[in-house]
Structure 1
Amino acid sequence: MIDTNALDAGADLRSQFRGARGEDIVALYEHPRLPVVTYPYEWVFSQLKDAALQHLSLQLVAFDKGYVLSDATAYNMQMFDGRFLHIDPPSLRPYEDGKPWAGYNQFCRQFLLPLLLEAWSGLGFQSLYRGSMDGIRFEDALAVLPKSKMMLSPTALFHVWMHGRSVLKRSDSSSSSANRAEQAQVPKAHYRAILQQLRDFIAGLKSDRRPDSYWSDYAERNSYSDAMKRDKSAFVSEWAARTKPGIIWDLGGNTGDFSRAALDGGAGLSVLIDGDNDSIEAAWRNRARDGGRIIPVLMNLLDPSPSMGWRQMERQGLAERAPADGILALAVLHHMVIGGNLPMSEAVDWLMSLAPTGIIEFVPTTDPMVRGLMAHRDELASDYSPETFMRAVEANGQVGTTKTFEENGRLLVEYSTT
């Protein structure tokens, strides 16, 4: 941190940068640039849990040094080098004796309630979370969470049941009674005990969607044949070695095998985007072996995150976070054209708009994956063919190296739009 008053150019800097309400700046913070900003509704259970634990750990360290955070928003937690970091240092404030935790309700809505929905009800929290940027509403959580578990857990009884009913009661009460509740004094020891209690409780939560043993062989149960996997990995590595992309988006990247191939070839970092909860969960659990250079993001490409919030600018949609330096779209196009009923030209145009270079895979109709998608359709999309695919690529850019796999007819195409 640099005090702008101590800089020769301090006056110039203060005139260039202003707060949202015209405030003068008093200090400059320099920090590494985040490769990508993600949001809680794009995370899986383990990611939200790790973010919550890191947030509470920071709160405890700060509290012991006489500071608190002015809020508890999950959006201030971002992935960097394989872990979650808090990115809003100005939200640190000196602790005032007796003052309650200002971000308590926010922490419950944005961390505790979504985690409990999945841990105790087996309900994925992402759709509800995306429907309200402020997090899960207490009335929704109390309607879904099993009352028996809340009654048997002292932590949940206090922070979910009692707190939730208090919030709902206050919303129906006069503003004066709500103000009295906000002004209630909280002893210092009690403040810290709340932070520690929540951290201990969340550390013990587990998703009710999959047993831990499920993850031991997940990648192996969803992999290609060894020979084809080696050939695809080599193709990807060679592309990355030629193009040296700083950040790639691995669309429909499953657990990240081909992200690793790109990293091995010279890519700097991969944002792994997949709509399968299990794939992202496995990728996050395996992040240590990737050196934190794969950032897993849960997102359905047929229904990507939209821009939301004030002026639709607070939370960026996927397209607004583009372009990447390169993309991998391996075994994803048939899901878009056949599964999503998109025109081939539209799907290819969108994929190629996301980065100036990349690799797109075409999976033929003889492939078991395509046959599975066709099982519930009366007929195949008329434009789903290798010829139509190649014409769509050529209409949007230049075709580079290609590779056809003799064993199943799959086609890899490298493209460039520059």
Structure 2
Amino acid sequence: MLQVNYIRENRDHVIERLALRNFKQTTLVDEVVALDEQRRQIQTESDALAASANTSARQIGELMRQGKRDEAEAIKAASGGYKEQIKQLTDRLGELEQQLHEKLVLLPNLPHTSVPAGVGAEDNEVVLEHGNKPSLAEDAVPHWELTSKYGIIDFELGTKITGAGFPVYKGKGARLQRAMINFFLDRAQQAGYLEVQPPLLVNEASGFGTGQLPDKEGQMYHVGVDDLYLIPTAEVPVTNLYRDVIVKEADFPVKLTAYTPCFRREAGSYGAHVRGLNRLHQFDKVEVVQLVHPERSYEVLEEMSSYVQSLLQALDLPYRVLRLCGGDMGFTSALTYDMEVWSAAQQRWLEVSSVSNFESYQSNRLKVRFKGESGKTQLVHTLNGSALALPRILASILENNQTDRGIRIPDVLVPYTGFEWID
């Protein structure tokens, strides 16, 4: 959530940066400024009345001690309306703060100055491309045919049990999933991340804190009886571990990692591009989260991007890094890098990770702060990244490594799988 003071003092800049997102409701900025002005005026009036009431109370007390009861009663009668006036102003202040909050949560984060202009995915900037795209035999097939051929994933059985988008992993398919999870967690631990195992259900306050609510409410599975949400990503519970916490500056950077299943309704998704593992309602993911000093957040973003790339390099998967344009970025992000791997059988790039800097947007909602050297309390900067999301990684491993013998397992995963081939 953007800070009101910043909006008030930088109105034109805020509108300019929101335009880069193609955000059309820029009148919200002026509505926020107007509500804030009313709020501050009423607060000033309330403070002045409270000061007058305190002054009158002291005068009354002093006069009573001096035995000047009549004079004290006269001041008491004159100031008798203060209490009711203050109550009315307090009630009005509460109404304005609620209205202001309702407007603020509708404003997305401001894009960083390096974010390119654009409307959608076609306008994203390719930062780099790494690795050689494999050349497959003419009879190479996409992963959904490979999983059926080798009996490692059963999409129809998942549909029977739950519905489309909930596959059943079997045999070497299940073991390969577990191998990737353990590999990613071990690499995160080696990189200094503390592993946590968070809840898979979160309350509304947690969803609001990281920006999934109200922005993505329709994409989250909701347990109505208990008013809880299945997590769309481990980012939500992991970042919320620090909600309402004042972090010690000496503890920076706070580095956390977690493996969780993730649940997304993906409403409106259809067509060939969502076939097989390309888009699921339930999938596994290892997430990395950092809380850092504001002065280091963009340096840390580059470090996190390099870290995710190191995982793709270890798996020997060709990939590219995109800097997302304003129109394709998430609601809460100031700058996002997407990592895409090359799917040789599908002949297309598949997104497998997003690494984002949210600056103080999440921490302002979460009230995650730290005390600097001056003793002043400041908002931390939060970042997160997929490291990695498994379905499309698995799809690329299966497709890119298919041979006449079977599917070759990447060398780094063999110690985890216990086998070198799926055949």
TM-score, normalized by length of structure 1? 0.25
Structure with the larger RCO, 1 or 2 (CA within 8 Å, 6+ apart): 2
Structure with the largest fraction of strand: 2
Larger Rg: 2
TM-score, normalized by length of structure 2? 0.25
